[in-house]
Amino acid sequence: YALETQNRPVFPGAPDIGLLVHEIAHQWYGNSVTPRTWRDMWLNEGFATYAQWLWQEDHGGGSAQQTFDALYAGGYFPDAESNEALWAFPPAEPPDAARISATPVYWRGAMVLHKVRQTVGDDAFAALLRGWAQEHRHGNADTGEFTAYVEESAPDKDFGGIWEEWLYGEGRPARP
Ligand SMILES: [Zn+2]
């Protein structure tokens, strides 16, 4: 399988563009900024997944909002089981080590980032993504540091509901 090994990703064969974007994004989110514990895995996978959404949005595919909406509506994955798996556990609290690479860590993690983007706007969000990678360059970071970073970067906004429902909440949040 493809993996974001340090210095350069490895692929089992020629990757499609989405996979290429994902693994290259990990050079910042996951490799340079390394999770403090495996519970913080969504800081790798949510970001790398969101990088794919951004790429798609900028290159003639659906917008990140459309991807978010399809996931929330339960029609993104081809089968019902996968759509349901999205809500199995909160992205910042995988229940055990076997599930640090499960659907919520990737896709719901990306949905958390989209909620942050909706709250701060596109320009501030772009600055936030760069700033986070810069601040923790070649270091470790955890979820608490990320939420604090977001809050400090936009002190006039309220992120409490996003953390509570999207990052740490059980099940599917009541509102998209
Ligand atoms: Zn990944």
Neighbours of 113 (CB within 10 A): 27
Distance 176 CA to ligand 1 centre (A): 24
Distance 107 CA to ligand 1 centre (A): 11
Which regions in the chain score pLDDT beneath 70?
Answer: none
Closest CA to 111 of 92, 128, 97, 124: 92
Give pLDDT, residue 8. Answer: 86
Distance 85 CA to ligand 1 centre (A): 18
Distance 22 CA to ligand 1 centre (A): 6
Give pLDDT, residue 137. Answer: 97
Give pLDDT, residue 7. Answer: 82
**What is the pLDDT of the chain when averaged over all its residues?**
96
The CATH classification number of 17-167 equals 1.10.390.10
Distance 4 CA to ligand 1 centre (A): 7
Domain layout of the chain by residue ranges: 17-167
Quote the CA–CA distance of 11 and 118 in Å, as a whole number: 33
Distance 155 CA to ligand 1 centre (A): 30
Tokens (6 digits) for 55: 């790429």
Give pLDDT, residue 60. Answer: 93
CA dihedral 26, 109, 50, 121 (to 10 degrees): -120
Distance 24 CA to ligand 1 centre (A): 9
Distance 68 CA to ligand 1 centre (A): 18
Distance 92 CA to ligand 1 centre (A): 15
Distance 37 CA to ligand 1 centre (A): 16
Q: What angle do CA 155, 37, 99 make, to 5 degrees?
A: 105
